[in-house]
Structure 1
Amino acid sequence: MCVWQWCSEEITKYISDNLPYVFCEQIGKEIRDISDEIPFEIPDSWEWVRLGSIVYNRGQMKPTSDFCYVDIGSIDNKRQRLGDTENIITPDKAPSRAKKIIDVGDIIYSTVRPYLHNMCIIDRQFSLQPIASTGFATMTCYSGLLNKYLFYYLLAPDFDNYANDTENSKGVAYPAINDDRLYKALIPLPPLSEQHRIVAKIEELLPYIERYGKAEEHITALNTTFPEALKKSILQEAVQGKLVPQDPDDEPASVLLERIRVEKQKLIKAGKIKKSKHESVIVTRDKIPYE
């Protein structure tokens, strides 16, 4: 088993004679200006860091016994949750991609078509050793980084734009971002106490957003079906005599019907139409002579 770790780096902000504020990154002895990479301003107590400097992964292994396989199908990407069903596989039937070791608290992030948000926090124990597909980037947070804070940032538009940018996500049908590009992403890091406050506020608001989303879906469905339903309702009201008020001075339909019958008889006598053998006459109950 091999644990992967990003190389040491440090991002600093300082005043220069040439530029009022410059963000520089130091890797080893090399120092370079990365001001054009900084996507937005952050509070003074925060720091910019590369994703790879604040997470690591637990390495890889080849299954030698039955294991719980976590692949893309294990994720509910509408809610970013791990499914309840365990996918238990024997080692002789293990997919070639079943290699990445994961544990409770880890974040797994699908690097294939990242815009689909196939990602989650591993939030429960498994009955057997869990192993994830190499289609995921697996992230274990160092102490001081709240996994939920990082998870929510990975869902945020800025990270989404980075992961799905054509410079980072390669391919046509199944664009994917490789681990090197992914771990180079810039992450705004607040103090730990503020991470907790941010997560608490997000989770306070999410139920409202979910309810709003369901209401919007209902309104969208209503807007789609309402015109046709309204048309049918108006037509139904019209033919039931409920759409407009009744005028007692109107000629009753029985008189109109009698004129139609007279006209029909004239057309029959003139040979223009044939008399129907199934002529129908509908009368109201009070005109029916007997039971």
Structure 2
Amino acid sequence: DNKYYEQIGKNLIDITDEIPFEIPNNWVWTRLSNVANIYTGNSISETEKKAKYTNVVGRYYIGTKDVGFDNKIFYNNGIAIPRKYEQEFRIAPKHSILMCIEGGSAGRKIAILNQDVCFGNKLCCFSPFAGIERYIYYYLQSPSFIDMFNGNKTGIIGGVSIAKVKRILIPLPPQPELERIVAKIDEFVASIMNR
């Protein structure tokens, strides 16, 4: 019937109105929560930060200010979580993606991690399944995603709840095509960087 459906439990829900554009027949639309673990980090008060986590040995703690608009992360910011406190913090694993989801930088600061880190509550970690992290990383910067993300912003400071982020749709190609897409984008990005 040329409609898109989502199965929730035993119910089939018509989601045709949510679909932003047509995709090839061998692709599927799915929710971000179906392709990645998605969660926010932990906040630390300034007092606690100075007393327990400044200039100590431990796992880097990344805040929004440490994720640049240039898709890079500043790791050595002077804040770290010693091993004895690690169980109190959420960890974003190496190769996962951190994106700001609150404030003026929401949806605009994004980077892939090159190591495990602890991270702040205004950042969202996308820890993808099955080695598709670069595809998700590029999709999170696409006009399609940005439109859906901005359409879900609420509040005075402008943010998107984790529940809404999880429900955003992503078009998923077959694995060989996904790998070709990522390779082409990598190649394009490298050529821009080398200019």
Q: CA deviation at 1:87?
A: 3.5
Aligned pair 1:82/2:65, yes or no?
A: no
* Alpha-carbon separation, structure 1, partners of 2:68 and 2:43: 26
Give the counterpart of 1:120 among 103, 108, 111. Answer: 111
- Residue 149 of structure 1 contacts residue 195 of structure 1 at CA under 8 Å; is this kept in 2? yes
Task: Note closer, same or farther for the CA distance 1:47–1:60 as it changes in structure 2 (3 Å cut).
Answer: same
**For residue 128 of structure 2, what is the aligned residue in structure 1?**
141
Q: How has the CA–CA distance of structure 1 residues 58 and 159 changed in structure 2, closer, same or farther, with 3 Å as cutoff?
A: closer
Which amino acid in structure 2 is aligned with residue 124 of structure 1? Q
Which residue matches 1:171?
A: 155
Q: Identify which of structures 1 and 2 has the higher relative contact order when contacts are C-alpha pairs closer than 8 Å and 6+ apart.
A: 2
**2:170 aligns with one of 181, 187, 190:** 187
Listed one character per residue, the Cα deviations across residues 13-69 of structure 1 (whole Å, up to 9, x for unaligned) are: xx3xxxxx1111111112211111110111111110000111114887899984421
In the TM superposition, residue 186 of structure 1 has moved relative to its aligned partner by 0.4
Q: Distance in 2 between matches of 1:169 and 1:59?
A: 16
8 Å Cα contact 2:100/2:106 also seen in 1: no
CA distance in 2, matches of 1:88, 1:67: 9
Larger Rg: 1
Is 1:34 matched up with 2:24?
Answer: no
**Partner SS for 1:81:** coil
TM-score (norm: length of structure 1): 0.55
CA apart distance, 1:119? 1.2
| TM-score, scaled to structure 2 | 0.80
Aligned equivalents of 1:110 and 1:58: distance in 2? Answer: 12
- Once residues 60 and 133 of structure 1 are traced to their aligned partners in structure 2, the CA distance between those partners, rounded to angstroms, is 5
| Structure 1: distance between partners of 2:143 and 2:77 | 31
Partner of 1:53: 34
Look up the equivalent residue of 2:165 and give its one-letter code: L
**Aligned mates of 1:110, 1:59 — CA distance in 2:** 10
Q: Residue 26 and residue 90 in structure 1: after superposition, are their counterparts in 2 closer, same or farther (change >3 A)?
A: closer
The aligned residue for residue 145 of structure 2 is: 159
- The structure-2 alpha-carbon separation of the partners of 1:69 and 1:116, relative to structure 1 and needing over 3 Å to count, comes to same
Alignment of 1:1-291 (within 5 A): 15=1, 21-57=2-38, 66-77=58-69, 79-89=70-80, 99-113=89-103, 115=106, 117-124=108-115, 130-143=117-130, 145-165=131-151, 168-172=152-156, 174-210=157-193
Q: 1:124 to 1:42 in 2, by over 3 A?
A: same
CA RMSD of aligned residues (A): 2.8
Q: Which residue does the alignment assign to 2:48?
A: none
Given that residues 110 and 135 in structure 1 are in contact (C-alpha distance below 8 angstroms), is that contact kept between their aligned partners in structure 2? Answer: yes
Gaps in structure 2 of 5+ consecutive residues: 45-51
* C-alpha separation in 1, matches of 2:79 and 2:191: 36
Match of 1:265 in 2: none
Q: For residue 185 of structure 1, report the CA deviation from its aligned partner.
A: 0.3
CA distance in 2, matches of 1:207, 1:89: 32
2:140 and 2:146 in contact (8 A); partners too: yes
Q: 1:103 to 1:39 in 2, by over 3 A?
A: same
Contact 2:95 2:133 in 1 (8 A): yes
Contact 1:47 1:188 in 2 (8 A): yes
Could you tell me how far apart the structure 2 residues matched to 1:184 and 1:48 are? 11
Identity rate, percent: 27
Q: Distance in 2 between matches of 1:59 and 1:111?
A: 9
